[in-house]
Amino acid sequence: MKYITCIEDLRQIHKRRVPKMFFDYVDHGSYAEETLRANVDDLKRIKFRQRILVDISKRDLSTNIIGEKAAMPLILAPVGSTGMQHGDGEIHACRAAQAAGIPYTLSTMSICSIEDVAANVEKPFWFQLYVMRDRGFVKALIERAIAAKCSALVLTVDLQVIGQRHQDIKNGMSVPPELFKLRNILDIATKPGWVKGILGAKSRNFGNIAGHLPGSKDLGSVSSWVASQFDPALNWRDIDWIRSIWPGKLIIKGILDVEDAREAVKVGAEALVVSNHGGRQLDGAPSSIEVLPEIVHTVGSHIEVMFDGGIRSGQDVMRSLALGARSCMIGRAYIYGLGAFGGPGVAKAIDIIRAELSTTMGLCGVNAINQIDEKVLAE
């Protein structure tokens, strides 16, 4: 990995080493992918104000995220089916995050279960929750997160209906995936390292669901159940029910509108995540960075505002912090590393972003995270 210089380098290696259907699942978005592209492009348009002859010899990236000490303002976001990018992917990613001193968020739709991850890492992690129609299952899932000592619950609220992802349909990336289509068989046959890792993994099913519902041990039955479970009736009143079970910190992910941000404050969430699901849901929605400043201006003094959407560099983290975010989530950026090199690849992705953020702070004349504001941006 000596010559890996940026997240795009990891992306290109990921693309070569992982079957197309799984790479495209992460890399692409919904419909025409307008919002996916806007997330990245709108960040790039934000320019920095270069400063010189400032003592920047003691730069410090450390911060606090919802009361937890963090080595930098970065969080590994929940990503479904991470364990299909690399065997035991969730465990490897969580270990890399914890070694780097930042939070990791396990998805409801993970391949490794809550229990598997908890048994194989040293510290508590965050758990991301999708609220299913089967509230009994959801209650049990929250209780399992409590038993695993998860330190925060990230409630994702922008998946009541699922935006169509054209590449997934073309690739047969259904649930379960169409692995035995001829072109997928031929593609997988050229990825022996990936095959070896997946075959040696703890799970190749949705670990948080398989075995926890009657008759749900095979992928087909789990898939049928999941397809029927995303709940379009989910609404703000359900937050009170979740709060009655979950005793810890609550983060609401998927806020893109000021009125929704105000509601997140009213229900007592500790933080919200400005996010459009990585451009994978409502195509034509604004980029996350476009709406961030107004949301911060409206509710930033009442709730911790996190940012998600389009981050591919430490410069992007700096841009988001300058516009008011307290911390940032990355999804694709670390998954590219995972698909390329497993756990060391995740560590490399984090190191790349850390180094870029530190350098950008220095060239903008900033020594600490809490000094980053709009003054570091060009007019």
Annotated binding site for FMN: 78-80, 107, 128, 130, 156, 253, 275, 308-312, 331-332
Q: How far is Cα 82 from Cα 253, in angstroms, rounded to an integer?
A: 19
Do residues 318 and 327 touch, judged by C-beta distance below 8 A? no
Residue ranges of the annotated binding site for glyoxylate are 25, 165, 277, 280
Question: Which residue in the block uniquely carries the two structure tokens 């990018």?
Answer: 85
Q: How far is Cα 122 from Cα 125, in angstroms, rounded to an integer?
A: 9
Query: In the beta sheet, which residues pair with residue 153?
Result: 127, 250
**Other beta carbons less than 10 A from residue 6's beta carbon:** 13
Report CA dihedral (239, 245, 248, 251) to the nearest 10 degrees. Answer: -30
State the pairing for strand pair 63-65/68-70: antiparallel
Known catalytic residues? 277
**Nearest by Cα to 100 from 360, 343, 366:** 343
Q: How far is Cα 57 from Cα 243, in angstroms, rounded to an integer?
A: 45
Report CA dihedral (107, 40, 298, 280) to the nearest 10 degrees. Answer: -40
**Nearest by Cα to 73 from 308, 249, 276:** 308
Half-sphere exposure at residue 297, Cβ-oriented, CA atoms within 13 angstroms: 9
Question: Which residue in the block uniquely carries the two structure tokens 């990921």?
Answer: 14
Burial 266-293 (b: 16+ CB within 10 A, else e): ebebbbbbbbbbbbbbbbebbbbbbbbb
Question: Which residue in the block uniquely carries the two structure tokens 């029910």?
Answer: 241
Tokens describing residue 316: 């992007």
